[in-house]
Amino acid sequence: MASTVLSKLPKVPQSWKNNIQTFGRSLLLPIALLAPVGMIMGICSALGQSYMVERFPFLGNEILKLVLTSLSSITSIIFNNIPLLFAMGVAQGVAKHEKGIAVFASVVGYLVLNVTMNVYLTASGTLADAETMAQVGQGVYLGVQTVKLEALGGIIAGLVAAATANRFYRLELPLAFAFFGGKKSIPILTVVFIIPLGLIIPVIWSWITSFLISISFIFTTDYIGASIYYMFNRMLIPFGLHHVLASVVRFTEAGGVYMINGTEYVGILNAMNEVLFNLGPDSPYWSELMPKLSSYLGGAQELTTLFRVPAIGLAMYKTSFLKNRKMAKGVITTCVLTAFLGNITEPLEFSFLFISPALFIIYCVLCGIGMLPYQLLNISIGYIRGTIFDFGIFGLMYENTHWINLILLGIANFFLFYFVFKWYILKFQLETPGREPFEVEESASELLKQKDWPAIAGIVIEGLGGKDNIVHVENCISRLRIDLVDPSKVDQMKIKDSGCAGIFFPSEKHIHVVFGPHVEFVRHAVDDKLKEK
């Protein structure tokens, strides 16, 4: 019956579907960088924390500290510039023409977007002080205080640059301005298109921020407030607004006002610091306040980093095609370890967010539901990050943390997320890592085994009807994607001699040829052949 209902739903136009898939694939480049770098940064940052040095004195060795600090600084530059990475990745992936110029234009566009938003904030008198800017959704990027869009800002710049490249790469101008035509027009027009967005976005963001502040009292309701908070926190990740919500709850009255030994502490984090670092587990305030305070900080986050993310990763691995599992295993394992060690969950979350927004919403709702028993179980584990290191230090080494209850709740979360994700991926045939439509064996062809890319490329071009029948060639993770002049000239039997794993036409004049993880080398060889006279 469900399939009958689904079959009656309006079909997404093929062009839209292709564009969405192209956009989703464009995010893989920055994600591929963030995962291993985040893992290194997480380890170095955790081992350099003062509480770790106190527990393990050898970490205080000056040479070791220098190495850890240096690695942390080097890797942090990547995460401090995530929007820029997404701008370039999206521009490169979505642009069909002049990809290099599109990437250049995306950087220009992102810089202009930030400065334009800064100009608006300054002119409107809404540029916040350094102490309060995080609470109103502002931050400093590349030396400019602006609206804190996070990755979304880069994605916007990348999409504008790519769309401009696709539309205007052959723009012809009058003779007097001819020098600025063609591909040179792409960054210029990107600036023109970005400026209005930079003036509109701060207005929209101020409305959203005001709304979040106005409903923040809901998030501090005993027992259920933390669940609602965590659900919203996850939902806001794609927009970068989760930092606004976190800052409001951590540092303002929206997170509560706590009277501790006659002194008033405003916000979740200020109260946590007093109880955790000054009063300790023997204080009556520990049992009274820590279950609630920690449900907004590291203890709650550990449910995601230590249990939910591994569960999702396992579901992806188990639903991957058997012959693709070796490749999928490396990608998934890196994403899981990045969260486990560094509290960086975005690589895994982004891996399914754009493939299935509905699944991401389900994920956010499940995060809220999985939090419901937290305060009832008196879990009292600090601190902010929520990594395995925080669990070891603040869970196992502190008394009265009830860490065993976190493990029990985490196990329940693990099974909940694993079975829901596994069911959903299989039910709706999502192309999560390792679930490409065709499995690839390297033994499929002697040419593939010998890695004779020029020979493979020659066969493919001949099978496609020759150079004159090929309009455009690109590739995704496993396939060549080719636009054709006349699809009737394609000889599929000839193409199969190349050792490809499959061939199909997603639209009339667009063909996919599947080669698996070697596809990039085949693509380069095809490009070289097409350039030959």
Tens digits of per-residue pLDDT, 49-98? 676 787 788 888 899 989 988 988 888 888 778 889 889 988 988 888 88
Q: Can you tell me the mean pLDDT for 102-110? A: 95
The helix/strand count (H/E) of the chain reads as 24, 8
Residues 280 and 405 grouped into a single domain: yes
Is residue 38, in this structure, part of any structural domain at all?
no
2 inside domain: no
Nearest CA to 242 out of 152, 117, 336 is that of: 152
Instruction: For residues 189 and 279, state if they share a domain.
Output: no
Separation between Cα atoms, residue 311 and residue 367, nearest integer Å: 13
Residue 498 belongs to domain with CATH number? 3.30.1360.60
- Does some domain include residue 459? yes
Collapse the DSSP code of 81 into the 3-class scheme (helix H, G, I; strand E, B; otherwise coil) and give the result: coil
In the prediction, which pLDDT does 28 show? 67
Tell me, what's the pLDDT at 351? 77
Identify the CA nearest to 150 among candidates 349, 334, 371. Answer: 349
What residue numbers bound the domain in which 423 lies?
14-19+219-427
Q: Is residue 33 part of a domain?
A: no
Percent of the chain whose pLDDT exceeds 70: 89
Whether 355 and 385 share a structural domain: yes
User: Do residues 300 and 413 both lie within one domain?
Assistant: yes
- The predicted pLDDT at position 9 comes to 37
C-beta separation of 159 from 167 below 8 A: no
Query: Has residue 49 been placed in a domain?
Result: no
Residue 226 in any domain: the answer is yes
Q: H or E stretch including 260?
A: strand 257-260
Both 310 and 397 in one domain: the answer is yes
pLDDT at residue 2 above 60? no
Residue 181 pLDDT level (bands cut at 50, 70, 90)? confident
Residues 266 and 387 in one domain: yes
Using the predicted structure, report yes or no on whether residue 395 has a pLDDT greater than 50. yes
Q: Are 204 and 241 in contact (CB under 8 A)?
A: no
The reply to whether 120 and 199 lie within a common domain is yes
375 confidence band (pLDDT: 50, 70, 90) = very high
CB 154 within 8 A of CB 90: yes
Q: Taking a C-beta distance cutoff of 8 angstroms, is the pair 433, 320 a contact?
A: yes
Tell me if 57 is assigned to some domain: no
20 with 354: CB under 8 angstroms? Answer: yes
What pLDDT does residue 22 have? 67
**Catalytic residue status for 364:** no
Locate tokens 């030959």: which residue? 532
244/377 same-domain check: yes
- State how many domains the chain has: 3
Whole-number average pLDDT of the chain: 84
Region 464-483: what's the mean pLDDT?
85
Looking at the fold, whether 373 and 451 belong to one and the same domain comes out as no
> Stretch 257-282: mean pLDDT, rounded?
86
* Weakest mean pLDDT among 10-14, 116-120, 296-300, 448-452: 10-14
The C-alpha R_g of the chain, in whole angstroms, comes to: 26
Highest mean pLDDT among 144-153, 404-413, 497-506: 404-413
Query: Which of the listed ranges 247-256, 319-328, 426-435, 441-450 does the model predict with the highest average pLDDT?
Result: 426-435
Q: State the burial class of residue 393 (Cβ atoms within 10 Å of its Cβ: 0-12, 13-18, 19+).
A: buried
Lookup: tokens for 263:
């002194």
Return the pLDDT at 229. Answer: 93
Catalytic one among 364, 367, 476, 500?
476
Alpha carbon separation from 280 to 12, 165, 291 (Å, rounded):
57, 59, 14
Is 274 part of any domain?
yes
What share of the chain has pLDDT > 90, as a percent?
37
Q: Are 161 and 228 within one domain?
A: no
Of 153, 181, 214, the one marking the end of a domain is 214
Q: Which is more confidently placed, 23 or 178?
A: 178
Would you state the pLDDT for residue 443? Answer: 42
Does 381 lie in the same domain as 461? no
Domain boundary residue, one of 153, 182, 214: 214
* pLDDT per position as a tens digit, 344-364: 787 788 778 877 889 999 999
Report pLDDT digits (tens) over 24-46.
666 667 766 766 776 677 677 66
DSSP letter (8 states) at residue 392: I
pLDDT value, residue 200: 94
pTM of this structure: 0.65
300, 164: one domain: no
Burial 138-154 (b: 16+ CB within 10 A, else e): bbebeeebbbbbbbbbb
Pick from 193, 214, 235: which residue ends a domain?
214
